[in-house]
A and B are shown apart, each in its own frame.
Chain A
Amino acid sequence: DADVTQTPRNRITKTGKRIMLECSQTKGHDRMYWYRQDPGLGLRLIYYSFDVKDINKGEISDGYSVSRQAQAKFSLSLESAIPNQTALYFCATSDNTGPYEQYFGPGTRLTVT
């Protein structure tokens, strides 16, 4: 089984809808991250969490919120989806000791119409 899983893998939703993307990991890592990738571009950090009580905004957090339900689970929500949030979303994990190599999930392809 994959160490980092994301659900759903694909989602089409309408403008204004609330949507949640979920991430689970079995690596036992404390650190978890949400990234967004737009076509032909690199990854931009949305939110990150270093433990259950630690949530931090990344470079593009506007329009998103997160919840760290447990060490193994980190969810990303779009409260009111808009078309420019159409992108590929990745969850990643790393352990608490350097050098912080990251392990990525397979991604969620989100389309907002």
Chain B
Amino acid sequence: SQQGEEDPQALSIQEGENATMNCSYKTSINNLQWYRQNSGRGLVHLILIRSNEREKHSGRLRVTLDTSKKSSSLLITASRAADTASYFCATDTGRRALTFGSGTRLQVQP
């Protein structure tokens, strides 16, 4: 079973709107990471949030973490067509390798 599950599986928005995707996980974590994948390409690390942090920002990205609910959210503000991609959360549980979720496919319409 997946440690991280993203929600929604797919999201379609207009350029300029905000996009929010969520990740839920099952066991305690050291940190949670978000990655982006353009179609058929390798994943690219976006942002990391540690278990003792509640919110982090990086440019147009905002990540929150609620360890009591075992959930995280990724907000992309003022989305652009170039943000079209799949977004994955990955959890570091201290078990030696990250566990990736199944991803959210984001389509930003120009």
Q: Which residues of A contact B (CB under 8 A)?
A: 4, 33, 35, 40-43, 45, 48, 50, 56, 58, 88, 90, 92, 98-107, 109
Which of B31, B45, B99, B101 is A103 in contact with, Cβ under 8 Å? B45
- Could you name 26 residue pairs across A and B whose Cβ atoms are closer than 8 Å? A42-B2, A42-B100, A43-B43, A43-B88, A45-B99, A48-B97, A50-B96, A56-B97, A58-B97, A88-B40, A90-B42, A98-B30, A99-B30, A99-B31, A99-B92, A100-B92, A100-B98, A101-B33, A101-B48, A102-B90, A104-B42, A104-B43, A104-B44, A105-B42, A106-B41, A107-B42
A/B pair count, beta carbons within 8 Å: 59
Q: Which residues of B contact A (CB under 8 A)?
A: 2, 30-31, 33, 35, 40-45, 48, 50, 88, 90, 92, 96-103, 105
